[in-house]
Amino acid sequence: MILVTGGTGLVGSHLLVELSKEVESIRAIYRSKNKIEFTKQIFQYYLGKDCEKNWNKIEWFEADLLDAERLKIAFTGITNVYHTAGYVSFHSGDFKQCIIHNRYGTANIVNLCLANPIEKLAYVSSTAAVGGEENSPITEADKWKKTPQTSGYSISKYLAEKEVWRGIEEGLNAVIINPCVILGPGNWNDSSLTIFKTTTKGLRYYPTGSNATVDVRDVAICLKKLMQSTLINERFLCIGSNQSIQQLLNTISDHSNVNRPIKSISKKLVRLLSLVSSPIFKVFGIKPLLSKDAINSAYKNLSYTIEKLNGAINHSFYSLEETIENSIRGRIQ
């Protein structure tokens, strides 16, 4: 039996769709029962009449990744583990939660993999755990370095990945995938998908940074192929396309039939607006719309290569246009 953590998340739900096409027995971990319905909507969107048949292959298991005793039960009869669960936030106030869930939750998964006859672990990390410089193609060999600009989320994913490398040193067979900004059908209030919610309301301005995106379908398929391969103890960047944030916003706007943002906005002005609005949000107990880390990210110029992944598995990535179209068409509400 295969175990999938984060079964109700963006990557986890799409991975379950892919696995259900081939595997007869899957155990999926969840924390919030009402989010299971979101995952079923993903199944209905992709599988249509085959939805129920594939959906019934999943055994849902309620557990918190920080509850090691409960997780022990989840590992009963498991041979392979996909660890997709994670806590994503670029707000400084969530730093502790990022560390707790990403690092220590991953440590629990690694420890249980070592304590059980697990053949292989496939872990979903992030480009946030990879180093590299701006304006130069980033590869898996680039070393992560902490700087004053490093986000709390980046620190937590780096430490989580170190837990997997620790497991490898102790004899665990594992493979790590490092996707960039993941886009696909899902709830537009969650993580990276909030960009659709914001853009479809209409934007006048755009930040001047650049970054990479990847279709969640590509992440799920590549993760499955890496697990099924003989590759172990390696990590792979998973990148669909590199583009400016302006190009990304323009593509979303075009597919949403709203006006494109027409003018760039300086980082200095965005910071000022964030500082002015922050006290207002605090009065109402609401997180600021733009955190310091999110602003820094929007003005970096980052690009990545996938030569290593291309040399490891045979896969053709979706284009940015295809990704945006699918993300909008399959929105979960």
pTM greater than 0.85 (yes/no): yes
Instruction: Please give the pLDDT value at position 278.
Output: 57
DSSP, res 331: -
Asked whether residue 287 is domain-assigned, the answer is no
CATH (domain of 128) = 3.40.50.720
Tokens of 322: 């295809």
CB atoms within 10 A of CB 146: 10
Tokens of 204: 């006048």
Asked whether residue 183 is domain-assigned, the answer is yes
Tokens of 193: 């998908």
- The tens digit of pLDDT for each residue in 70-120 reads 999 999 999 999 999 999 988 888 899 999 999 999 999 999 999 999 999
Asked whether residue 125 is domain-assigned, the answer is yes
Asked whether residue 50 is domain-assigned, the answer is yes
Instruction: Please give the pLDDT value at position 190.
Output: 85
Instruction: Please give the pLDDT value at position 283.
Output: 45
Name the maximum alpha-carbon separation found in the chain. Answer: 56
Range(s) of the domain holding residue 96: 2-187+213-242+304-321
Instruction: Please give the pLDDT value at position 294.
Output: 86
Asked whether residue 195 is domain-assigned, the answer is no
State how far the alpha carbon of 187 is from the alpha carbons of 39, 195, 333, in Å: 10, 11, 6
Asked whether residue 208 is domain-assigned, the answer is no
Residue (of 226, 124, 119, 223) closest to 173 by Cα position: 119
Asked whether residue 261 is domain-assigned, the answer is no
- The tens digit of pLDDT for each residue in 270-295 reads 888 777 665 544 544 555 557 888 88
Run means of pLDDT, 10 residues per run, the chain, 333 residues: 96 97 94 92 95 96 96 97 94 90 97 98 97 92 92 96 98 98 93 91 94 98 98 97 97 96 93 69 52 88 96 97 96 87
Residue (of 36, 15, 40) closest to 26 by Cα position: 15
Instruction: Please give the pLDDT value at position 289.
Output: 59
Asked whether residue 292 is domain-assigned, the answer is no
Q: What is the dihedral of CA 49, 330, 128, 89, to 10 degrees?
A: -110
Contact 214, 177 (CB under 8 A): no
Contact 117, 79 (CB under 8 A): yes
Instruction: Please give the pLDDT value at position 284.
Output: 42
Instruction: Please give the pLDDT value at position 275.
Output: 76
Total number of domains in the chain: 1
Instruction: Please give the pLDDT value at position 273.
Output: 79
